Amino acid sequence: MMKARFEEIRVQGLNEKYDSILGLSGGIDSAVVARRAIEHGLRPLAVHVDGGWNTRESILNVHSLVRELGLDLRTIVIDWDEMRRLQLAFLRSGELNQDIPQDHAFFVSLYRTAMSEKITTILSGVNFATESVEPASWGRGYLDGDFIKSIMKNFDGGEFSKYPLMSQREFKTLSRQRKFKIFEPLNLGHYNPDQELDGLISKFSWAVYEQKHGESVFTNWFQSSYLPRRYGIDKRRAHLSSKILAGLESRDEALVLVSEPLPSPVQLDRLVVQRLQMENDELSTLIEGPHPSHIDATRP
């Protein structure tokens, strides 16, 4: 099925400069998609969205992958002042999913690049093997641009003109009009990121992260510091539960892994405070504050 779908994309794009587009974050999932696409004869345009939180390792991984696979790379840099203000607004709102500003910017930038280049196939690293389990109470999705605007209005109040926004209605309309379609090759056939890692290390000198999605300083902080301390949520439980259901981890093995202590929050807290230009005690005050519902998070 995966091979046939790749071949269909290749044939459909024979007369185009690129037959597909993919986002490269520096993480394992998108790297494996890129590698498989090239192995099946595709000519994807690689897009990296810089939201201001790249680790040194993620930058090295992206450029090594692009160089070795012969990919064309387009880097989109999100305006840092607006990203910083939006992330501060989200922190002050108390919204559980603090990764929304990054995720929304990443995917909207990718969708709009696909449309501007008239590329109709987006290759995605989304996969059930590691991301199938997450309670709905752990936060809303990232595609609701109207929700983001309400956070901007109520917890910043200034003007935003450069941050990429897309409403859910616009996304659904574009999808219905087939302006782009999303293909998730990792959900076809077997996918084990731990096995793929050895190949990435040997062929691309891949830099390994301590945490899933460790390519982003902010996501690392959000998962290992903010969520456990503010909401008592350990994202490792969701990731490991997904791997158990996929047959990639036993329950006993997962229990051992989840019992290991999370990284100390001190250094990551310091980086977040510095990058977001916060007062020294503001972050602690926000983390220890009341827990609003998703509805309450839109109101000051």
Does residue 57 register a pLDDT over 60? yes
* Contact in structure between 126 and 186 (CB atoms under 8 Å): yes
Which pLDDT score, from 0 to 100, does residue 293 have?
A: 60
Which pLDDT score, from 0 to 100, does residue 296 have?
A: 56
Percent of the chain with pLDDT over 70: 97
Does residue 15 register a pLDDT over 60? yes
The three-class DSSP label of residue 8 is: helix
Which pLDDT score, from 0 to 100, does residue 262 have?
A: 86
Which pLDDT score, from 0 to 100, does residue 287 have?
A: 87
Axis-axis angle for helices 193-204, 28-39 (nearest 10): 70
Q: For 145-179, b where at least 16 C-beta lie within 10 A, e where not — what string?
A: bebbebbbeebbeeebeebbebeeeebeebeeeee
Show me where the domains of the chain are located.
2-298
Mean pLDDT of the 292-298 span: 56
pLDDT digits (tens, 9 = 90+) for 146-188: 999 999 999 999 999 999 999 999 988 988 887 889 999 999 9
- pTM of the predicted structure, to 2 decimals: 0.92
pLDDT digits (tens, 9 = 90+) for 118-143: 999 999 999 999 999 988 888 788 99
Mean pLDDT of the 65-94 span: 97
Which pLDDT score, from 0 to 100, does residue 292 have?
A: 64
Does 3.40.50.300 match the CATH number of domain 2-298? no
* Separation between Cα atoms, residue 276 and residue 288, nearest integer Å: 18
Percent of the chain with pLDDT over 90: 77
Which pLDDT score, from 0 to 100, does residue 297 have?
A: 52
